[in-house]
Amino acid sequence: MADASTNGAAATAGAATAAAPPSNKPPHSAKPKRPNYNLIHADPLPVVLYHSPPLIPHNPISLLHHLYLYLFPPVQSHNVVYIGVFSPVTMSVEVRDPTAVLDLWNKGFWGKGSLSRSEPTWLNREMRRLGDTQVGETSEEITRRRRDQRKEMKKERARKEKEELLKVKEAEAKGKEEDGSASNGKPIIADSKVVVGLEAEISGLDEPATESTQPSLPAEEPGLPTPPPSSDELNTSDSESKTATVNIGSETLPVSVPPTTESPPAQPAKVVRFDSNTSTKEIPVERKTVTVQNQEHLQLMLSEAFFLVYALGILAVTTADATKPLPLPEIFKMFLRYSTFPPLPESSVSLTNLNPDNSFLINYVVYHHFRSLGWVVKSGVKFSVDYLLYKRGPVFSHAEFAILIIPSYSRWEGREENVGKEWYWLHSITRVNSQVKKTVVLVYVDVPTADEVKGWDCERDGLKKVLGKYKIREVALRRWIPGRNRE
């Protein structure tokens, strides 16, 4: 009985499936899948890490295991992997190896594409422009498409507002015709400024192309209907000219008159028949691959490059004239020179008499501080700040905090604690960043004196001691808006 009922249900389902009419809707194209950013950007740093077992103090085997890993690590850390070339023109370090560029961006979002907004995607955009179908959509194209959609939405809203405005005007005009005045002397539209402002806003947007593209025909006089064109007129081409007669004295001369554009000859109507049995077919897209030479490189800020050189030890920096990588003291001195524009003279920068007030040292201390805490630090020049802090990276979310560096000279005798900026400078920065939903963080850097860092080059690991002399204090600043923060 169970088998019979099962077979009967299957037969009923099969009959229902067979009786269902076939769908005439065209198959929808599947949306392109987004890349798995969690897998692409799984490594926060471009170094290979390994996990050690938990340390148990009362277990001697655990201590021996950790001692073995310390003496014989399974992964050799701090090996130079990437090569960068310092550019005095852009004041940045350029990485041109495509493999290194992709690796540095995927593992920590380092640098910026020289021909892109952030991610180095110039090659993919160029290949898509040339018709390559194997390359996916880039972030710049997604942003442009969203902006176009918002623009079309605003145009559609303006069209609807214009239609409502025309209806109100027609109702007002109709009321004036019937009663002589609208609503006993009171206009329907309460404020004329609203109408004027709405008309100005609508006129600024592009009007849709609703006008007919056919040439305008001359208006015909009222009376009898226009007779249909004869067969001779239909067979006459546009290029043929008409002939008229002109009387000159006692002679009659034929004169050719070219056809005018105001009254073009009528064309026979075309008849198109549609077959209801025609089925839609998918046209296969021709796959095309384009080969383009990559002209983009990765630009590293001075703070980013020095962090990769000093803190991680995986980047070697050279110059266009150097034949081998520069040592760390020379890189440090070069970055101190090019931290300002125009660059400082070479004679004014000395490692023995180090100036702790150098802008590169102050900026790098802040960069090293937030990078060591796990934040992704990017340049904030777009929003009038020094740095932007991302929780995971630009592809996951927008920056949450905008960093504004303020040096503090509390330990300097005879130097006033004055930033040298007016109040409206800070007000403009907070307003810009509040509109993009970012919290401004004032980072006060206590700058040590020259006596406190004197003789650092003679000590072992002296740069670490110099960086330890700087103290950082963060103050979150939120813009107070009376209309919103009343409660």
Catalytic residues: 390, 398, 438
Q: What is the CA radius of gyration of the chain?
A: 38
Question: CB within 8 A of 305, min separation 6: which ones?
Answer: 84, 86, 92, 93, 315, 317, 335
Query: Both tokens of residue 162?
Result: 């214009």
Query: What is d(CA 436, CA 399) in angstroms, rounded to the nearest whole number?
Result: 9
Cis peptide bond upstream of 342, omega within 30: yes
Count of beta carbons in the 10 Å neighbourhood of residue 366: 21
Query: What is d(CA 320, CA 89) in angstroms, rounded to the nearest whole number?
Result: 12
* Secondary structure class of 148 (helix, strand, coil): helix
Query: Both tokens of residue 395?
Result: 């592809």
Query: What is d(CA 439, CA 433) in angstroms, rounded to the nearest whole number?
Result: 7
Query: What is d(CA 269, CA 260) in angstroms, rounded to the nearest whole number?
Result: 21
**Spatial contact of 430 and 479, defined as CB atoms under 8 Å apart:** yes
Report CA dihedral (303, 305, 450, 452) to the nearest 10 degrees: 100
Q: How does DSSP assign 305-367, residue by residue?
A: HHIIIIII--EEEE-SS-SSPPPHHHHHHHHHHTTSSSPPPGGG--STT--TT-HHHHHHHHH
Query: What is d(CA 338, CA 302) in angstroms, rounded to the nearest whole number?
Result: 9
* Secondary structure class of 13 (helix, strand, coil): helix
